[in-house]
Structure 1
Amino acid sequence: MTDRTLPLPALGNAAGNPAPARTPRSQPRLRPRIAAVVVAVLALWGVWATWDTFVRSPGGQRADQLALDGAARGQGLLWELAEPVLGVVSNSFVGLGLAVAVVLALARGRWWLAAQVAILVAGSNLTTQVLKHLVLDRPALLDVARADINTLPSGHTTVAASVAAGLLIAVPRRWRPVVAVAGAGYTAATGVSTLIGQWHRPSDVVAAVLVVLAWGAGVCALSSPSSLDGPRDGLEPGTSGAAGLLLLGAVGTGAVALGALGGVRGDGWGLPLGGDLTAYMGGMLGVVAVTLGSFALLLLVRQSTARPAP
């Protein structure tokens, strides 16, 4: 009698129905992650270039100091608006903002996304403190008080920008354009408020925003299936509109800021009330320009790295 191998029955459930095939998990795309790394590296270079231009050179320090001196003009009225904005920024604010972003990620079942948010907020603020107190110095090139005390990057601006960026990364795709615009507005308001209160020079604020952009793009480059959008989530119509609006604002304010910087150096126009006011207004617009541009880039990086591979 010949042995015959009987076919094994197909696996199924108790009712005899065949088990459904498992759908493979979506994977992040490579090109957007490479682009995110490029953005992060350029942002880090921007931090160094800001310090090298406005802290290590006499001309840069002079322009920055003029902006700080110009903040004394009309400070009484402006400080009434700026002080409440700065009053929000505290350790409690960081904890609350981080908790909200992490809870949003966990509520969606995204464990790695929650870790990305925590890395972004903690890394940004730690980097700012290390750069300010241990890495970067400030040569005393001007005859002013506390000329050798380094204040770059701004800690208050880093806190505001990192919390806003964490929320941008954590929320669902359709909400990111709104969060990007709102986060850019709040970060810019915080940065400008530190100028009004003469807490920081413009370069301090610019460097802080770039630190957060570097960390935000960096964690986006570490995307995993947990941080991807659903396969049915296509490009939101609001993404291009919000990014375009932010970039348009960055170009407009940046052009005027560059003109003001040229005016301070004697190369172009200047306000009739003096070089300190020209530097002050130019510094404000420069802060706004860098903030708007950074959040536009972060929005585009997050949307592209969150889209799963086909």
Structure 2
Amino acid sequence: MSSTATTPSATTVSTATTTSATTAAAQTRLIRPTRWWILLVAAVILFTAIYILAVLTPTGQSFENAALRGADQVGQQGFNEANRALGQITIWSLIIATALVGLIGLLRRQFLLAVIGVGVIGAGQIITQSLKRFILPRPELVPVTGDFTANSLPSGHTTIAMTVLIALFLVVPYRFRGVVMLFVSGWAVGIGAYTVTAKWHRLSDTIAADLVALAVGSVAALILLRLGRLRRVGRRPRLRMIVVVFLALSGMVALLLGVVLATSPLNYPLHSPVIEWNVYLAAHSLASAGSVFALLTYWGTWRGIEVVRRVGK
């Protein structure tokens, strides 16, 4: 009695390959680039609006200068803590963070992703430093002395923190995204608020830096989509939703507190110590809220989407 081995025919293999390619192409088409184009344009528009309102108007400058004066009332412990946290961001720590982002991408055997992750951090700094040092002027519309006369928008430290956060968001595997965001977001959000406490930056500087990070992150997403590296994910970890809800609630509390504190002194002179303190607290809260909602907005555009070596793999 003889037996005949069954092997897949060329037609079967060809059909399976074609089906896989068709499915992969369909997955890519389901992810529309519109979300990131909208986010990119919105970031540019908001950046421009913030610069005009906060830097090019006497009211904006007066408000933010009041917050700087209010920061003088921060206790020595809080001031030292802010400076210590900001002082940890050096050229060497930036190199290490950038190398870590690249290494994660390489460990996932995605060279392109590693390059894009590193590029997000590098591009963020190039844009921020160019805008701050060479492009955006800060006219002296109200009396101010010392280092506060120079333009400080956007904040370089906040840009570093937020672009590192977005770069990690891109390179880590999808199933670990929520855990990484839970731990890293606290640091990134804190940096933005600390720049106000330490009087290194104004509120508008931190918000502008958040928007630079969003713009760069949007371009990175568009590149990955264009190259066919994004794929829909069917199952989503529950822990991720818990992290998102926690961040959203924290951001909402900070936003509401900041709005209340910012609007309460509208009918009072800004040179009152009590008002200056309230304005500082408002700036601190709004800086935290800005970073939180920047992260959540970017995260929202990636809902149910992961980065893969090639769609279909």
Q: TM bucket by the smaller chain? A: 0.7 to 0.9
Q: Relative to structure 2, which stretch is displaced further, 38-47 or 149-158?
A: 38-47
**Offset from partner CA, 1:111-156 (integer Å, 9 cap, x none):** 2222221221111111101111122111101111145410000111
Change in 2 beyond 3 A, CA 1:237/1:276? same
- Hey, what does 1:53 align to over in structure 2? 53
More helix by percentage: 2
Query: What CA distance in whole angstroms lies between the structure 2 residues aligned with 1:295 and 1:71?
Result: 26
Query: What CA distance in whole angstroms lies between the structure 1 residues aligned with 2:113 and 2:277?
Result: 44
- The Cα of 1:17 is off from its aligned counterpart by 5.5
Change in 2 beyond 3 A, CA 1:75/1:51? farther
Change in 2 beyond 3 A, CA 1:287/1:302? same
- The Cα of 1:182 is off from its aligned counterpart by 2.6
Matched, 1:181 2:182: yes
- Hey, what does 1:170 align to over in structure 2? 171
- The Cα of 1:160 is off from its aligned counterpart by 1.5
- Hey, what does 1:291 align to over in structure 2? 291
- The Cα of 1:196 is off from its aligned counterpart by 1.8
**Offset from partner CA, 1:19-39 (integer Å, 9 cap, x none):** 544332734345542112211
Change in 2 beyond 3 A, CA 1:29/1:249? farther
Q: Relative to structure 2, which stretch is displaced further, 83-92 or 149-158?
A: 83-92
- Hey, what does 1:228 align to over in structure 2? 230
- The Cα of 1:233 is off from its aligned counterpart by 5.4
Contact 2:229 2:307 in 1 (8 A): no
Change in 2 beyond 3 A, CA 1:116/1:305? farther
- Hey, what does 2:264 align to over in structure 1? 263
Change in 2 beyond 3 A, CA 1:100/1:226? farther
Contact 2:54 2:60 in 1 (8 A): yes
User: What are the ranges of 5 or more consecutive residues in structure 2 without an aligned counterpart?
Assistant: 1-5
Aligned residues: 292
User: What are the ranges of 5 or more consecutive residues in structure 1 without an aligned counterpart?
Assistant: 1-14
- Hey, what does 1:7 align to over in structure 2? none
Contact 1:39 1:214 in 2 (8 A): yes
Change in 2 beyond 3 A, CA 1:57/1:94? same
- Hey, what does 2:3 align to over in structure 1? none
Query: What CA distance in whole angstroms lies between the structure 2 residues aligned with 1:72 and 1:304?
Result: 45
Identity of aligned residues (%): 24
- The Cα of 1:232 is off from its aligned counterpart by 6.2
**Offset from partner CA, 1:51-93 (integer Å, 9 cap, x none):** 1111111111111111111111134111232222112211112
**Offset from partner CA, 1:217-242 (integer Å, 9 cap, x none):** 2211222466435x765333233332
Change in 2 beyond 3 A, CA 1:30/1:53? farther
Change in 2 beyond 3 A, CA 1:119/1:203? same
Contact 2:207 2:290 in 1 (8 A): yes
- The Cα of 1:279 is off from its aligned counterpart by 0.7
Larger radius of gyration: 1
Query: What CA distance in whole angstroms lies between the structure 2 residues aligned with 1:226 and 1:84?
Result: 42
TM-score w.r.t. structure 1 length? 0.85
Contact 1:243 1:300 in 2 (8 A): no
Q: Relative to structure 2, which stretch is displaced further, 163-172 or 101-110?
A: 101-110
Query: What CA distance in whole angstroms lies between the structure 1 residues aligned with 2:67 and 2:35?
Result: 35
Matches of residues 192-271 of structure 1 in structure 2 within 5 Å?
Answer: 192-224=193-225, 227-228=229-230, 234-266=235-267
- The Cα of 1:275 is off from its aligned counterpart by 1.0
Query: What CA distance in whole angstroms lies between the structure 1 residues aligned with 2:252 and 2:46?
Result: 17
Q: Aligned letter for 2:230?
A: L
- Hey, what does 2:157 align to over in structure 1? 156
Q: Secondary structure at the match of 1:306?
A: strand
Matched, 1:134 2:121: no
TM-score w.r.t. structure 2 length? 0.84
Contact 2:170 2:307 in 1 (8 A): no
Q: Relative to structure 2, which stretch is displaced further, 286-295 or 75-84?
A: 75-84
Query: What CA distance in whole angstroms lies between the structure 2 residues aligned with 1:171 and 1:178?
Result: 10
Query: What CA distance in whole angstroms lies between the structure 2 residues aligned with 1:36 and 1:266?
Result: 40
**Offset from partner CA, 1:169-219 (integer Å, 9 cap, x none):** 110112112222333211121122222221111111111111111211221
Query: What CA distance in whole angstroms lies between the structure 2 residues aligned with 1:160 and 1:98?
Result: 11
